[in-house]
Amino acid sequence: MTRRKFVTELKRIFESSQEAVIYYLTQEIKFLAAHLARRPNPASSEKIALARAAKAVDPAYLEKTFNLFTPATLYRWHRELIRQKWDYSKRRKYPGRPRISPDLEDLIVKLALENPNDGYKTLQGRLKILGFKTNVETIQNVLKRNGISPSPVRNNQLTWNDFLEIHWDQLTATDFLTWEVLTPFGLVSYYILFFIRLKDRKVHVAGITVHPNEDWMKQIARNLTTADGCLRPGQILIHDRGGQYCPAFKRILEEAGVKPIAIPPRSPNLNAYAERWVKSVKEQCLKRLIITSEKMLRKALKEYVAYYHQERCHQGIGNIIPFPRTEDNIGSKKGEIVRKSRLGRLLNYYHREQNPEFTRTKPPKMAS
């Protein structure tokens, strides 16, 4: 056998054995593909590796073998790989002015939300006062990007919280609190009329009576609208539709410049501040006492109102005391911690003495 024939025969044997291996591997791939639970979803790095390997194989031979992906898919991945190599879109400079800084955009949004009546030019003027130079189109684009409507639409989107903040100084709420007093003649229902100023939660107990008739309500209205009363001209009084608020009571208030507003029927949530005070005074004070006279009821309410104003923290206004005493040294970490009690330790208040050097001494024992 010549050298050439030997090489040819060896090459034929090698190619036949290689084809047999490839055929076996192809059958394995067919078996795996038939038992796959779902279509494979290769990652970007896997696509790149398969595309480069497929490009090195003869297309005619690639068509004969079984593939998880068709040759057209492999070649498409290869074209995408080439396209990404020559992609310079990230270096592209887009036409037009660059965007404003995020801080300026946040300021424009804040001014627009806090001032619903301001148009684009008014906002431009506010920014100019603050040292920012911009134009109307930029402000308009910023508001559009943040989903903020123009001024006429924003002005009609006044929420209930915004309404309360605008009229906070003028809003006062009132309600009746009833409590049963144990007397020698049995339980007697007492009606307690109170008023609460919404801004600072200041409570004024206007009167306590067994019969809140028209004459009593008229006198209460006169007392409230005097120079020492808690109602001033221009204030708005929120109340429910109870029969005690008679027309004569409302007429006296209106003549003094106070506007009474009745909430809708069966909607105590619209008078929530007054309803919350009723719950507080009942749970923290009245329900823990056995009240046997009107005098005792008045004393309990007086003590609780003082505690409510000067010693109790209010979560609705930032967990602070509305009318703290200056001598209580609130917020200081110096001084002795002292407890003050009302109604026989029913209501407790803790504060620090203003003079740290002052120490309490127990009174001497009396000689027996």
**Percentage of the chain surpassing pLDDT 70?**
79
In the predicted model, is pLDDT for residue 52 greater than 50? yes
Tell me, what's the pLDDT at 15?
61
Of 20-24, 155-159, 355-359, minimum mean pLDDT range: 355-359
Whether 285 has a pLDDT exceeding 80, the answer reads yes
- Specify the pTM: 0.57
Task: Give per-residue pLDDT as tens, 215-265.
Answer: 999 999 999 999 888 999 999 999 999 999 999 999 999 999 999 999 999
Helix axis angle, 120-129 to 136-145, nearest 10°: 110
Is it the case that residue 51 has pLDDT exceeding 70?
Answer: yes
Q: Which residues pair with 351 in a beta bridge?
A: 338
Most confident of 15-19, 140-144, 333-337: 140-144
Name the pLDDT band for 18 (thresholds 50, 70, 90): low
pLDDT of residue 83: 83
Max mean pLDDT range (5-9, 108-112, 128-132, 244-248): 244-248
Average pLDDT over residues 178-187: 93
Is the pLDDT higher at 36 or at 124?
A: 124
pLDDT band at 11 (very low <50, low <70, confident <90, very high): low
Residue 357 has pLDDT above 60, yes or no: no
Confidence band for 96, pLDDT divided at 50, 70 and 90: low
In this prediction, residues 39-60 reach a mean pLDDT of 77
Per-residue pLDDT tens over the stretch 156-165: 666 667 677 7
The mean pLDDT of 70-95, rounded to a whole number, is: 77
Q: How confident is the model at residue 166 (pLDDT cuts 50, 70, 90)?
A: confident
- pLDDT above 90: percentage of residues in the chain: 38
